[in-house]
Structure 1
Amino acid sequence: MKKVVISGYKPFEVGVFKKDDIAISFIKKAIRRNLETLMNEGLEWVIISGQLGTELWAAEVVFDMQIEGYEQLQLAVITPFYNQEQTWNDQNKEWYEFVISQADFVDSVSRKNYESPWQFRLKNQFLIEKSDAMILFYDSDREGSPKYLYEAVRTYQEKYSYSLHFITFSDLESLFEEEQFQNRQDD
C-alpha cells in the first residue's frame, strides 16, 4: 500500500462554515487514524485533487504528520484542471495556495481551464488508477459530491483489487464520544 487518495465532502455539505468549527477537528482525527493504520502497511503518498473541505483538511493532517516525524509521508495534489480555485473567495484561495506551496508534487489531469464535467470524471478515474486505496469521507445516507467518486471506485472494484476505507458520520460521533469520555477521566 504505497499511495492513497483522500476525498470526501466539501465544507458546506457537512454544515461547516468556519475554519475553527469543532467538527473539523474530528474529521482530521478520523483522517489521521486511517493514515496511521496505512503507514503500517507502507503508505508513502497521499493524493488529493485540492478540493475544499475533506481534501484540504487531509493535506493539513499530512503536514502535521510530516512535522511530527513522518518524513516518508508525501502529499501530491493532482487537480482536475488548471485554475480550479479561480471562482473561490479569497480566504479559500489562500488556503488552497498554502497547500499547493507545501505539497511534494503538484500537477493537473487536464492541462486546460474548466471546460465541462468530463474533467471531473477523468480526474476520478486517474486518481483511482494511480493509487492503491482510498479514504473517503462519505455516508450513503447523506449523499453529496463524494457520491461520484464512490461510484467510480465501485465500478473499478468490479475488475480490480482496490481498497476503500470510509469515514462516516458515526465514526465522527464515536471520536466525539471517546473525547468526552477521556475528558471525564481527566477531570
Structure 2
Amino acid sequence: MSRLWVTGYRGYELGIFDNKDKKKEVIDYVLKQEIITAIESGVDWIITGGQMGIEQWTIQAANELKEEYPGEFRTAMILPFKEFGSNWNEVNQAMYNQTKLMADFTAEVSNLPYQSPKQLKNYQEFMISHTDSALLVYDLDNPGKTQYDYNRIKEFADKHPYPLKMISFDDLQNSADEYFESLNNGFQDE
C-alpha cells in the first residue's frame, strides 16, 4: 500500500474565490495530472485535509478520475479536529460537506473541537506517520499557511525516506501554458 499526502495553498491565498476562475481550471488540471502519475506509480490512497483550496480540490479532482481508474485508488479526508469548518460561512460549509461526501474515508485526528495549536501539530504527525510521500502545491518564495506543513515534512524527510514533491508558481505557470495550448489546439482540430 502506498499513501500520498496532498496539501497546499488555501483558495484565498491564490486569489481564487470562484470555482469558475481560470486559475482553478489550471490547478484542477495539475492536480489530475499529479494524481494520475501517483496512481500509475502505485499510490492507492490520496490523503488530504478539508481546507478550502488545494485540499478540497484534490478530493474533487481525484473523484473525477475514479471512472478512468476504477478500483485503483481511494481518497481520504483527514481532519485535524471535530467540527472542522463549522465557523465557515454557509456557502463554504456546503462546498466542504459536498466534498467530504466524495471521499472514500473521513476521520478526525482529535475528537474534540479546536482547543489549541497542539491539535494541528498532532494532525501533522498523524499525516506523516500515515503516508509514504507528500505533494505540496506550494512555492517557498510565496509563504502561506502551508509553510507549517512544509517545515514539518522537510524536517521529517531529512531523517527518513519520505519523498516530497513541490509544485511552485513557475510549475503552475508552465502547466497553465500547456493546458491553454492544449485547449487552443483542440479548437483548431475541429
TM-score bracket, shorter-length normalisation:
over 0.9
Counterpart for residue 181 of structure 2: 181
Please state how far the C-alpha of 1:70 moved relative to its aligned partner: 3.4
CA contact (8 A) 1:81 1:110 kept: yes
**TM-score under structure 2 normalisation?**
0.93
Counterpart for residue 114 of structure 1: 114
Counterpart for residue 101 of structure 2: 101
Alignment of 1:75-86 (within 5 A): 75-86=75-86
| SS of residue paired to 1:173 | helix
**TM-score under structure 1 normalisation?**
0.94
Q: Which runs of 5+ in 2 are unaligned?
A: none
Please state how far the C-alpha of 1:44 moved relative to its aligned partner: 0.6
Residue deviations 1:137-183 (CA, integer Å, cap 9, x gap): 10000000110000001110122100111111111111221134334
| SS of residue paired to 1:109 | strand
Residue deviations 1:6-30 (CA, integer Å, cap 9, x gap): 1000011011111211111111111
Please state how far the C-alpha of 1:116 moved relative to its aligned partner: 1.0
CA contact (8 A) 2:45 2:75 kept: yes
Q: Structure 1 residues 179 and 107, CA, compared in 2 at 3 Å: closer, same or farther?
A: closer
Distance in 2 between residues matched to 1:42 and 1:183, nearest whole Å: 29
CA contact (8 A) 1:50 1:78 kept: yes
Counterpart for residue 6 of structure 2: 6
Residue deviations 1:33-91 (CA, integer Å, cap 9, x gap): 11111112211101111111000000001110113333221111110000111111111
Please state how far the C-alpha of 1:98 moved relative to its aligned partner: 1.2
Alignment of 1:23-34 (within 5 A): 23-34=23-34
Distance in 2 between residues matched to 1:184 and 1:102, nearest whole Å: 31
Q: Output the amino acid matched with 1:73.
A: F
Fraction of identical pairs, as percent: 28
Please state how far the C-alpha of 1:184 moved relative to its aligned partner: 4.5
Q: Structure 1 residues 109 and 20, CA, compared in 2 at 3 Å: closer, same or farther?
A: same
Alignment of 1:107-146 (within 5 A): 107-146=107-146
Deviates more, 1:101-110 or 1:55-64: 101-110
Distance in 1 between residues matched to 2:26 and 2:6, nearest whole Å: 16
| SS of residue paired to 1:67 | coil
Counterpart for residue 157 of structure 1: 157
Q: Which runs of 5+ in 1 are unaligned?
A: none
Distance in 2 between residues matched to 1:90 and 1:19, nearest whole Å: 16
Q: Output the amino acid matched with 1:42.
A: G
CA contact (8 A) 2:60 2:102 kept: no
Q: Count residues with an aligned counterpart.
A: 187
